Amino acid sequence: MTSPSASTLSSSRPAVIAFDLDGTLVDTAPDLLDTLDIILEVAGAPPLPREETRRMIGAGAKALVRRGLDAAGISVEPEAFEGLYARFLEHYADHIADSSRPFPGLIAALDELEARGHVLAVCTNKLEHLSRLLLDRLDLSSRFKVIAGADTFPVYKPDAGHLIGTVERAGGDVRRAVMVGDSMTDVLTAKNARVPVIVVPFGYTETPAEELGGDALIRHYDMLPETVDRLLAGG
Ligand SMILES: O=C(O)COP(=O)(O)O
Ligand SMILES: [Mg+2]
């Protein structure tokens, strides 16, 4: 008897679709940036324009606070920075779903992916407890077999280990997975893990979505199920 080939093994498991969170599943910018404004005020700076701060989202809350202070021309000692960051996390947790909502068509697309037998997971640079809190508030947590944040594994996006760990914990195999994201961080992560990546253009990115180098770009979530299945089929 011959042992099953690697491809047979991987195709017998359900495909795992790993989603970025901020700017991909949920439009979190209003609550994140309201919180940033409050932290800037505490640090003695006026609020920054939203077009500028929206693009600062994507590398986690610590990077957002750091980028905001830098753009406002405020430099603080490490200890003061940690205090501002702690205050950011506290305020944000209390307001995490004030205005943050899933992007249009998301729920129907998740329903359809589940109906097609795919397993859903979250791979985000948001801290895990904040990711769970947000998804709980929006009644979305139960949809995802795994919610992996920036602090879930020893590494985080764009390190391939974050995506590989997410897919494996969801019971899948990276050879049968798709990443969905909004930023260069997501595209690099997927490429590092050799996973095809779908880009959404409604999120937060410095580089225009069309120029991120994803394998596919969808302008609305109604295009997601067929795009996922095309990429899983190698197309
Ligand atoms: O909150 C952030 O800056 C990053 O989060 P994301 O990885 O879900 O985009
Ligand atoms: Mg994102």
Both structure tokens of 68 = 């905001």
Q: pTM value? A: 0.93
Environment class of 120 (CB within 10 Å of its CB; exposed 0-12, middle 13-18, buried 19+): buried
Q: Which fold has domain 6-27+101-232?
A: Rossmann fold (3.40.50)
Domain ranges of the chain: 6-27+101-232, 29-94
Is 29-94 a domain of CATH 1.10.150.240?
A: yes
Ligand 1 pocket residues where CB is under 6 Å? 20-23, 57-61, 64, 124-126
* CA 53 – ligand 1 centroid, Å: 13
Distance, CA of 186 to CA of 115 (rounded, Å): 25
Q: Kindly provide the b/e burial profile for residues 21-30, where b requires at least 16 CB atoms within 10 angstroms of the residue's own CB.
A: bbbbbbbbbe
* CA 11 – ligand 2 centroid, Å: 28
CATH topology of 6-27+101-232 equal to that of 29-94? no
Q: Which residue has the tokens 């209003």?
A: 30
Q: What is the pLDDT of residue 58?
A: 86
Distance, CA of 103 to CA of 110 (rounded, Å): 12
Mutation choice for ligand 1 from 124, 128, 152, 187, CB with most ligand atoms inside 8 A: 124
Is 98 annotated as ligand-binding?
no
Per-residue confidence in pLDDT tens, the chain, 235 aa? 444 444 444 557 899 999 999 999 999 999 999 999 999 999 999 999 999 999 999 889 999 999 999 999 999 999 999 999 999 999 999 999 999 999 999 999 999 999 999 999 999 999 999 999 999 999 999 999 999 999 999 999 999 999 999 999 999 999 999 999 999 999 999 999 999 999 999 999 989 999 999 999 999 999 999 999 999 999 7
DSSP helix/strand/coil, 180: strand
Q: In degrees rounded to 5, what are phi and psi of residue 139?
A: 60, 35
Please give the ipTM for the structure prediction.
0.94
Q: What is the pLDDT of residue 11?
A: 58
